[in-house]
């Protein structure tokens, strides 16, 4: 109970607190703009995001950026859920490039044209990346980075097995665009050579089981598309509306049979390993050849693996093909903080400092013209492992094949992944692919109406 004397004191104290609080309100309001970014949680992505956020916040004290990160597959589900609900608490979303059209058509993304000058739109990114982020003439998602694929070679495991590794970029080596071109054109291994070596490398040793080879993104379209494409087969028709006759073609069946054999006949790749776990098998010296992206370079370097970087293999008689395309950044149409969010989006995708920080931290092939030019010209990128980016630039210009342009990409990607996972687990490719192609067509039919 308050005494007569205490009551006025309490009132005064509360008034004083309230006065201080009200005087601070404008300052708090300025600092309160928080941009929320729905993004990926895999690899070193979150660490890279934290670095660039710190740099951005130092330059823009009125904006803070919070990340809401998910594993690869869950990210798409979270985006579907929150964009469909028009959640205003999400400001930015990481957009896998084949989904730009799908998200734009369904009204998830706000156009970005007003946040960039015409010069920036024209000259910042390589044309293919900018075009991939454009839908019906509007710029809907800005390229955050590009990607390429290499074959990482564990040199220690090759030496222990007494085998000669494929020609590759190794520690202590320097390279130029010309030497890298020679490596890619003359010394690229075929999948047949890879399997021959993998059979000899797969064994149970004192340190446990060693496997010959492994894909990073096991069973995912991004990485396995190169198998069929290397044999000249596409996944869907040019208009993106038909999969039968493409996904179930003889060439794709051959590619899928090869994939099946890796796990079930030759047994040179481990089953039951997820894409999240697979890089650890390479860093733990359990896998001799690892098909992965350029973003694995800092991870393997940090882990102290004795590795080399070889060009991505291809089928004998086929053509070299590599995966490409990566993450773009989109602005949620329902966002309440579009201006602040666009500021961060501009910083991470177009700003000279921002793009450099992102590239140096994340290690993925950049999409900006300036950084690509820097890679080709700066002496720093002539030395291993940075010289691998020269190989990345070569692949991007000569062997990269984008993922299918289809409004049903979500369905295609999911059906592709579950089909190849089944093949990995022993399903017959000759039965699995026609079933999968018919299933994709069922979904694509709605877009043909």
Partner 1 sequence: MKLKGSVPAAFVLLLPALICLAVFRLYPIALAAWGSFCQESFEEAGRIIFVGLQNYADVLGDPLFWKSLWVTLKLNAVINPIQVVLALLLTVMVNQRFRGIAFYRLLLFVPIGVSLPIACVIWRLMLDPQSGLINSLLGQIGIDKQRFLIDEHQALWSVMAIATWKGVSFWMIFLWAGLQAIPSELYEAARLDGATAATRFFYITLPLLKRTLLFVLVTDTSVNFLLFVPMFLLTRGGPSYSTNVLMYESYRSGFIYGEMGRALAIMMVLILLVSITVVIQFYCLRQKESS
Site for partner 1, rule CB under 8 A: 76-77, 80-81, 84, 102, 104-107, 270-272, 407, 410-411, 414, 418, 421-422, 425-427, 432, 439, 442-443, 446-447
Q: Minimum Å distance from CB 405 to partner 1?
A: 15
Give me the torsion for CA of 281, 282, 284, 285, rounded to 10°.
120
- Residues contacting 366, CB < 8 A, separation 6+: 145, 146, 355, 358, 359, 372, 375
Q: Which is nearer to partner 1, 188 or 333 (CB)?
A: 333
Are the C-beta atoms of residues 236 and 437 closer than 8 Å to each other?
no
Least distance between partner 1 and beta carbon 285 (Å): 17
Nearer to partner 1, 158 or 409 (CB): 409
Smallest separation, CB 271 to partner 1 (Å): 7
Distance of CA 288 to the CA centre of its chain: 23
Question: Nearest Cα to 354, choosing from 97, 34, 44, 48?
Answer: 48
DSSP state of 404: P
Cβ-Cβ contacts under 8 Å for 300 (sequence gap 6 or more):
152, 279, 282, 283, 307
Q: Provide the minimum distance between the beta carbon of 333 and partner 1 in the complex, in angstroms, as a whole number.
A: 8
Distance CA 317, CA 368 (A): 34
Angle at 302 (CA atoms; ends 313, 289), nearest 5 degrees: 25
**Nearest-approach distance from CB 341 to partner 1, in angstroms:** 19
For 118-185, the DSSP string reads HHHHHHSB-HHHHHHTEETTEE-EEE-----EEEEEEHHHHHHHT-PPPS-B-TT-B--HHHHHHHHH
Q: How far is CA 98 from CA 104, 189, 240, 302, 444, in A?
A: 11, 29, 12, 31, 15
Nearest approach, Cβ of 432 to partner 1 (angstroms)?
Answer: 8
**Nearest to partner 1 of 368, 411 (CB atom):** 411
Nearer to partner 1, 75 or 388 (CB): 75
Which of residues 108 and 125 has its CB atom nearest to partner 1 in the complex? 108
Q: How far, in Å, CA of 437 to CA of 243, rounded?
A: 5
CB of 293 or CB of 330, closer to partner 1: 330
Q: Which one, 384 or 409, has the nearer CB to partner 1?
A: 409
CB-neighbour burial class of residue 318 (10 A; exposed 0-12, middle 13-18, buried 19+) = buried
Cβ nearer to partner 1, comparing 270 with 325? 270
CB of 279 to partner 1, least distance (A): 17
> Residue 200 Cβ, how far from partner 1 at the closest point, in Å?
21
Q: Distances in Å between the alpha carbon of 410 and those of 76, 94, 101, 132, 437?
A: 9, 15, 11, 16, 14
Nearer to partner 1, 264 or 369 (CB): 264
Q: Which is nearer to partner 1, 48 or 244 (CB)?
A: 244
- Which residues pair with residue 39 across a beta bridge? 69
Cis (ω within 30 of 0) for the bond into 182? Answer: no
Of the candidates 339, 348, 379, which has an alpha carbon nearest to the alpha carbon of residue 366? 348
Q: How big is the chain, counted in residues?
A: 449
Which tokens is 222 given? 């991004």
Instruction: For the CB of residue 196, give the shortest distance to partner 1 in the complex, in Å.
Output: 24
Burial of 88 (0-12, 13-18, 19+ CB in 10 A): middle
- Calculate the alpha carbon distances from 418 to 244, 268, 414 in Å: 17, 21, 6
Q: Where are the alpha helices (DSSP H) in 162-295?
A: 177-186, 191-201, 221-230, 250-264, 278-283
Residue among 176 and 274 whose Cβ is closer to partner 1 = 274
Closer by beta carbon to partner 1, 179 or else 435: 435
């Amino acid at each position: 109970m308050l005494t007569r004397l205490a009551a006025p004191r309490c009132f005064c104290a509360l008034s004083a607190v309230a006065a201080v609080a009200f005087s601070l309100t404008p300052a708090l309001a300025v600092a309160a703009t928080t941009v929320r970014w729905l993004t990926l949680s895999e690899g070193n992505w979150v660490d890279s995001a934290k670095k660039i956020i710190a740099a951005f916040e130092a330059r823009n004290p009125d904006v803070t950026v919070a990340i809401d990160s998910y594993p690869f597959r869950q990210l798409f589900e979270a985006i579907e859920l929150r964009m469909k609900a028009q959640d205003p608490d999400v400001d930015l979303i990481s957009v896998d490039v084949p989904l730009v059209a799908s998200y734009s058509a369904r009204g998830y993304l706000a156009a970005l044209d007003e946040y960039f000058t015409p010069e920036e739109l024209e000259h910042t990114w390589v044309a293919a990346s900018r075009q991939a982020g454009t839908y019906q003439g509007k710029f809907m998602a800005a390229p955050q980075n590009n990607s390429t694929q290499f074959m990482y070679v564990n040199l220690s495991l090759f030496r222990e097995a007494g085998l000669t590794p494929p020609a590759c970029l190794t520690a202590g080596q320097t390279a130029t665009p010309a030497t890298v071109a020679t490596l890619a054109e003359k010394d690229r291994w075929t999948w047949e050579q890879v399997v021959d070596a993998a059979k000899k490398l797969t064994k149970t040793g004192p340190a446990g089981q060693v496997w010959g080879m492994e894909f990073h993104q096991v069973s995912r379209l991004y990485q396995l598309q190169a198998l069929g494409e290397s044999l000249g087969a596409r996944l869907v028709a040019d208009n993106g509306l038909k999969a039968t006759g493409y996904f179930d073609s003889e060439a794709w069946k051959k590619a899928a049979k090869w994939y099946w054999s890796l796990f079930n006949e030759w047994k040179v790749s481990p089953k039951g390993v997820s894409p999240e776990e697979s890089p650890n098998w390479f860093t733990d010296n359990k896998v001799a050849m690892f098909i992965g992206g350029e973003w694995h370079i800092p991870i393997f370097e940090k882990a102290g693996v004795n590795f080399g970087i070889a060009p991505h293999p291809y089928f004998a008689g086929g053509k070299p093909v590599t995966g490409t395309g990566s993450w773009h950044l989109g602005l949620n149409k329902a966002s309440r903080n579009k201006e602040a969010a666009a500021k961060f989006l501009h910083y991470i995708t177009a700003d000279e400092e921002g793009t450099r920080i992102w590239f140096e931290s994340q290690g993925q092939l950049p999409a900006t013209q300036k950084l690509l030019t820097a890679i080709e010209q700066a002496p720093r990128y002539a030395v291993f492992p940075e010289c691998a980016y020269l190989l990345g630039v070569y692949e991007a210009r000569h062997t990269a094949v984008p993922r299918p342009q289809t409004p049903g990409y979500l369905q295609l990607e999911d059906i592709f992944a579950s089909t190849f996972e089944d093949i990995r687990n022993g399903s017959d490719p000759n039965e699995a692919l026609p079933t999968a192609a018919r299933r994709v067509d069922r979904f694509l039919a709605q877009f043909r109406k």
